[in-house]
Structure 1
């Protein structure tokens, strides 16, 4: 799949049920601001809103529509921590770094809930998510996971074993599960649209259909677009997988990846409740994991798999339907009303990339499929580092990020080989 954006949202259930279809104008002529944010997804809008709340003049440039990328088409699950958890961070980067990141591991979740309450954002927020174990090794891993998160302050965890899982998920696939009652799920496109409206209510400006064509470092920074330019004292690069060569110095250290989602026809309340009795969001513990949840109109959203390099499969339903029917045989033959792909940005160590170029161009990207909560944390940390507090931003910025082996030519096949290896281990339960 090309990461070049189109002029409209992908044809997803989210787009079909968006609270707003407001189309904002493209930038024309020259503008000036304190901070220019490139990208109107979770990272960009979170940063813009935090900065506007602090009284800065902020302009957001979006190549397509607000929430066009992963922010508006993901699984909608509020999952705590990072794509690599605290035990890995402890082992690789030391106790001090682990403690600094661990102190923030559950903050993105809290920020989301604060935003929803503060600005009355209607995005179908529901509590709790669940990690499901498909084999004994994964169940042991969940026991360790529970102890780890409790050590870092999460006391809202519950381990389910054997038939206890059926309380939450009516599937024979799982032998155990870990429920995080502090997690949850929501309509991600409506969340980002609600925050964009809040930003605009504070005087912020968003230009859509305004791709960045050139960034010229300096003081101020000059950002050139197809219809005009912005001069800004500072810049936030928040395009993630959609920067299209604008930050070429970072490209070797990340890789666009695609994931696919389908949404069923409405199942009706009783049929939906028979699948997920307490309306919990679920992801399994496989390396190439499946994830799913119910919508507010009793559909099942089901996603899974990764395409390295971001290429779309020719038939998304053909890829995802077997996964859905393996999990819920009772849905065999169910009608699928929506099917779409999304592109996220993966890093080699699966930890997000934060940093600053030339002292005034900040970036946050590479959440590696774990971005709903961490993007909101990123927005807060960017606002902090721009207004005098740098310790929390620097905890992330100090993480080393190496290029993918083999460079741009070989990163996709080598990653696919690695994924095949871990997928085989999952199937064998080793």
Structure 2
């Protein structure tokens, strides 16, 4: 399959597609999945001298990595105080020491490999009420305990100076956050892998895995024999490995992109070109693109079902935030899946001594996927401590198994939607 009809696909940098695997080959490491997890893993490993093959079922960045909101959001979907209360001080200390690393990896990749992906620094967490603003104060203190000293708390006037809307009571500006064209980042990382000698294949879905030493990944027209294998398909892995499918659930989020705004319009909406996400449980997020369009996302569809009318779902949210854009044309609309875990923390681990997996970033995938690739490379170089800090977290199945994942989680979403409306 080709990329979905998104703004990102329409504005992607020119690139030559990678060929389909049509033969039997061997390598040190076979990476299954051409999204950020797989690309980060493959790039760190090729840099370290491993012979790497990456297999993508569709096109590089086909899934969430090429469809997301493009925001570099630090930390995890559960903040560090929650991690400490559930899993203890030692685990929190280890995970806390890594929670700002993913963004640094992305910035270093952009600089090192000269990736043209419209990177802009700065991201805002926007509070819709006083309770959320107090939570942001608490978040700021938590992050500062772990060395993040580039946070700025905004009052109502401060957030209004950053975002031309009446809906926010305050915010937290993370100067270590930022935003990118996510598909162009993925394509740039893939090209870096190729230049370093890694082999990438598109339209090469893995249909079966033989576990053993070596492990073998079979595709429709070829196979890869590898000393190590990494499963990095995330929400698009399907049922290739049922043990992983039972532990997480694909969810869809929707995005619209407007027609180009004038320079004056764009500057009036977001004067410093920071990206924004609100603090609701079911949050909205938005930013300007490199050509001054407003990209706006929000909503969750559980069970990875595409909505019938994305514009109908998202445009009212956009106009509630920016009523001054009434009458604006929507040029692009699409949906993409991310993988949700019950704990909202990523799942790293081993299926066999030589077969690894990383999945389930629960909405914080842009930065954490890049960290994941670095940790997996550390494991294969003999340093497993940081990877094992994640692998030791319990990977809980959803209640009721796969049959009841969607209705149970949808009930939870309804509860959180009500909390958002009540501001509690």
TM range (shorter): over 0.9
2:171 corresponds to: 177
- Tell me what 2:348 maps to: 354
CA distance in structure 2 between the aligned counterparts of 1:163 and 1:115, rounded to whole angstroms: 36
2-side partners of 1:358 and 1:113: how far apart?
33
Q: Secondary structure at the match of 2:253?
A: strand
Q: Are residues 1:43 and 2:37 paired?
A: yes
How far does residue 209 in structure 1 lie from its aligned partner after superposition? 0.3
Aligned to 2:76, the other structure's residue is in SS state: coil
CA RMSD in angstroms comes to 0.7
CA contact (8 A) 1:257 1:309 kept: yes
Check conservation: 1:128, 1:182, Cα contact below 8 A. yes
Correspondence for 2:148:
154
1:260 aligns with 2:236: no
Q: Is residue 2:362 matched to residue 1:365?
A: no
- Residue number in structure 2 paired with 1:290: 284
Match of 2:239 in 1: 245
Contact 1:20 1:193 in 2 (8 A): no
Q: Which residue of 2 aligns with 1:281?
A: 275
User: How far did residue 164 of structure 1 move?
Assistant: 1.7
CA-to-aligned-CA distance 1:225-271 (integer Å, 9 cap, x gap): 00011100000100001112111012121000000000000011100
Matched residues, number? 424
Q: Following the alignment from structure 2 to structure 1, what is the Cα–Cα distance between the partners of residues 122 and 108?
A: 16
| Alignment match, 1:378 | 372
Show the 5 A alignment for 1:130-169. Answer: 130-169=124-163
Greater mean alpha carbon deviation, residues 18-27 or residues 391-400: 18-27
Q: Which runs of 5+ in 1 are unaligned?
A: 1-6
**CA shift for structure 1 position 356:** 0.8
Flag structure 2 segments of 5+ consecutive residues without an equivalent: none
1:228 equivalent among 222, 226, 234: 222
Measure the CA separation in 2 of the matches of 1:236 and 1:151. Answer: 33
Q: What's the counterpart of residue 399 of structure 2?
A: 405
Q: Hey, what's the Cα distance between the residues in 2 that align with 1:224 and 1:276?
A: 48
In the alignment, is residue 59 of structure 1 matched against residue 56 of structure 2?
A: no
Preserved CA contact (<8 Å) 2:128 2:169 = yes
Distance (Å, rounded) in 2 between the aligned partners of 1:426 and 1:244: 32
> Are positions 1:428 and 2:422 aligned together?
yes
Listed as ranges, the matches of 1:122-137 within 5 Å are 122-137=116-131
Q: Mean alpha-carbon deviation: is it higher for 279-288 or for 244-253?
A: 244-253
- Separation in structure 2 between the aligned mates of residue 243 and residue 215 of structure 1, nearest angstrom: 12
Q: Quick one: which of 176, 179, 187 aligns to 2:181?
A: 187
Whether the 8 Å CA contact 1:37–1:60 is kept in 2: the answer is yes
1:20 is displaced (CA, Å) by 2.6
Q: Deviations over 1:347-379 (max 9, x none)?
A: 000000000111001100000011000000000
Moved over 2 A (4+): none
CA distance in 2, matches of 1:70, 1:424: 27
Partner of 1:104: 98
Mean Cα deviation higher: 117-126 or 14-23: 14-23
Cα separation, 2, equivalents of 1:370 and 1:116: 19
Spell out, residue by residue over 1:39-68, the C-alpha distance to the aligned partner (whole angstroms, 9 max, x if none).
011000100010001111000000000000
Q: Separation in 1 of the partners of 2:276 and 2:374?
A: 27
Cα offset, 1:21, TM superposition:
3.7
The 2-side partners of 1:358 and 1:266 are apart by 50
Taking structure 1 as the reference length, the TM-score comes to 0.98
Cα deviation, 1:174-202, whole Å, max 9, x if unaligned, reads: 00100001110010100010010000001
Question: 2:421 and 2:75 mapped to 1: Cα distance?
Answer: 26
- Distance, in Å, in 1 between the alignment partners of 2:403 and 2:30 is 33
